[in-house]
Amino acid sequence: MQSPIHVTSEIGKLKTVMLHRPGREIENVYPEILHRMLVDDIPYLPIAQEEHDLFAQTLRDNGTEVLYLENLLTDALADDNIKDEFLEKIIAESGFAAGAIHDALKEYLLSFSTKDMVDKIIAGVRKDEIKTKYVSLAELAEDKDYPFYMDPMPNAYFTRDPQACIGDGITINHMTFKARQRESLFTEYIIKHNPRFADKGVNVWRNRYPEGRIEGGDELVLSDHVLAIGISQRTSAKAITELAESLFEKSDYDTVIAIHIPHNHAMMHLDTVFTMINYDQFTVHPAILRDGGHVDAYIMHPAANGEISITHETNLKEILEKALDKSEIDLIPTGDGDPIVAPREQWNDGSNTLAIAPGEVVTYDRNYVSNDLLRKHGILVHEVRSSELSRGRGGPRCMSCPIVREDLKK
């Protein structure tokens, strides 16, 4: 039986992808909470939705099946007992494990159809939406002016991060910041209870409960046995080690390349500075390279007795040539390496390309210098509109979670 998840590269023809269409959660962001919500501006929702629909259509036009997270979750909650269990967990993870507010939230959420309930959970629940008989002292005295019982999830349209498909399995991620941690509970329920995945032998390489932090934007599937992963603001060495142990024990993966990148908001994940777009071509933001194209990378392999061997290497080109068995690798610099254009275009995800086939990518239209350079390097570029979507600080790769890709021809 073919596994419902199958991703053995970053570039194989994209057959099935999971997206989330931005919804009311975007309009529940206001200046005071921007920073905590990990966004830098507030997208104008109708245009963000229009842009997102065009992004989805571009993928469909190129033969990709588009699944929506919100529908997958709704179908996963068809059984009332599962829905109840899910509600208990999401309300607890939102800060109310028991008590009057917990009860009121549960009653309120159950008053919707399951699909509307899912949309509501993503959008957030304001205090003035529900009535409670008793309020706590904290409510009365401390959090008086805070408007939400359940926070909005404005980053839900970055479906790349709460999980990542690797081979015939998935990592369900323990995300770094509170603003996003609940998102991977959705993945857990989808994998366990959506008929597309449930009881189909999907391997969970690492679930969301161990402490180490990890996000999908850092997980790059370079081949059917090599994974690259960022040591970043969002992914810790601890999580990488645990994932490597699990992959080496249970999968065909025998190489994990951990690449250290700056720990900051503009470069929060490896895929904001480095993506694979063809058998031997990558985009790279020059700011992660030291003189001579050096980075700090740690190459992990299985060793005797379940141990892991680690070597420190620095030449990015050579590391990739060796890992992918290529004589030459073409590293294409974001913004053509210009000291102003490169950081400007990287800020709006100029390095964050989504490959939909070898040498064929989807990018934001606004990054025209990077896009022209990709074309000069022989890449077929599909540009999508990006005025509002880019305000969430993520690009086409961040907005997509590949579920199935065609294997590469050997």
Ligand X SMILES: NC(=[NH2+])NCCC[C@H](N)C(=O)O
Supply the residues annotated as catalytic.
398
Q: 39 or 101, CB closer to ligand X?
A: 39
Q: How far is the CB of 399 from ligand X (least distance, A)?
A: 8
Residue 271 beta carbon to ligand X: minimum distance, rounded to whole angstroms: 5
Contact flag: residue 26 with ligand X (CB under 6 A): no
HSE of 15 in the Cβ direction (CA atoms, 13 Å)? 13
Number of H helices, E strands in the chain: 12, 19
Shortest Å, Cβ 161 to ligand X:
5
Binding string, 147-176, against ligand X, x = CB under 6 A? --------x--x-xx---------------
Give the span between the Cα atoms of 157 and 155, in whole angstroms: 5
Helices marked H in 77-157 = 80-93, 100-110, 114-123, 137
Residue 39 touches ligand X, criterion: CB under 6 A: yes
Please give the residues from 57 up to 116 whose contact with ligand X meets the rule CB under 6 A. none
Tokens at residue 301, please? 């392999």
Return phi, psi of residue 66, to 5°: -105, 120
Tokens read off for 219: 């997980």
Distance CA 147, CA 144 (A): 8
Rounded CA separation 315/295 (Å) = 6
Instruction: Identify whether the C-beta of residue 153 lies closer than 8 Å to the C-beta of residue 160.
Output: no
Interface mask toward ligand X for 377-396; x: CB under 6 A: ---------------xxx--
Residue 272 in contact with ligand X, rule: CB under 6 A: yes
Binding of ligand X by 268 (CB under 6 A) = yes
Q: What is the DSSP letter of 286?
A: G
User: Among 236-244, 263-271, 290-298, 317-325, which window interacts with ligand X (CB under 6 A)?
Assistant: 263-271
Q: Does 242 bind ligand X (CB under 6 A)?
A: no
List 180, 208, 285, 382, residue binding ligand X (CB under 6 A): 180
Sign of the dihedral through C-alpha 267, 316, 329, 291: positive
Minimum separation from the CB atom of position 176 to ligand X (A) = 8
- The gap from C-alpha 75 to its chain's centroid, in whole angstroms, comes to 21
Please return the burial class of 385, using the count of CB atoms within 10 Å of its CB with bins 0-12, 13-18 and 19+.
middle
Instruction: Identify which of residues 101 and 156 has a Cβ nearer to ligand X in the complex.
Output: 156
Query: Is 269 an interacting residue with respect to ligand X (CB under 6 A)?
Result: yes
Give the nearer residue to ligand X in terms of CB position, either 74 or 363. 363
CB environment 268-293: b (16+ within 10 A), e (fewer): bbbbbbbbbbbbbbbbbbbbbbeeee
Residue type present at position 120: K
Instruction: Choose which of 271, 345, 360, 388 interacts with ligand X (CB under 6 A).
Output: 271
Candidates 152, 217, 302, 396: give the one binding ligand X (CB under 6 A): 217
In whole angstroms, the minimum distance from the beta carbon of 358 to ligand X comes to 21
Q: Which residues of 304-334 are buried (b: 16+ CB within 10 A; e: fewer)?
A: eeeeeeeeeeeebbebbebbbeeeebbbbbb
235 near ligand X, rule: CB under 6 A: no
285 Rama class: left (phi>0) / alpha (psi -120 to 50) / beta? beta
User: How big is the site for ligand X, counted in residues (CB under 6 A)?
Assistant: 16
Smaller CB distance to ligand X: residue 346 or 371? 346
Residue with CB nearest ligand X? 217
Taking the least distance from each CB to ligand X, the nearer of 181 and 314 is 181
Q: What are phi and psi of 369, to 5 degrees?
A: -70, -50
Which of 284, 323, 357, 398 binds ligand X (CB under 6 A)? It is 398
Does residue 370 bind ligand X (CB under 6 A)?
A: no
- Shortest Cβ distance from residue 101 to ligand X (Å)? 27
Shortest Cβ 182–ligand X spacing (Å)? 13
List contacts with ligand X (CB under 6 A).
Answer: 38-39, 155, 158, 160-161, 180, 217, 268-269, 271-272, 392-394, 398
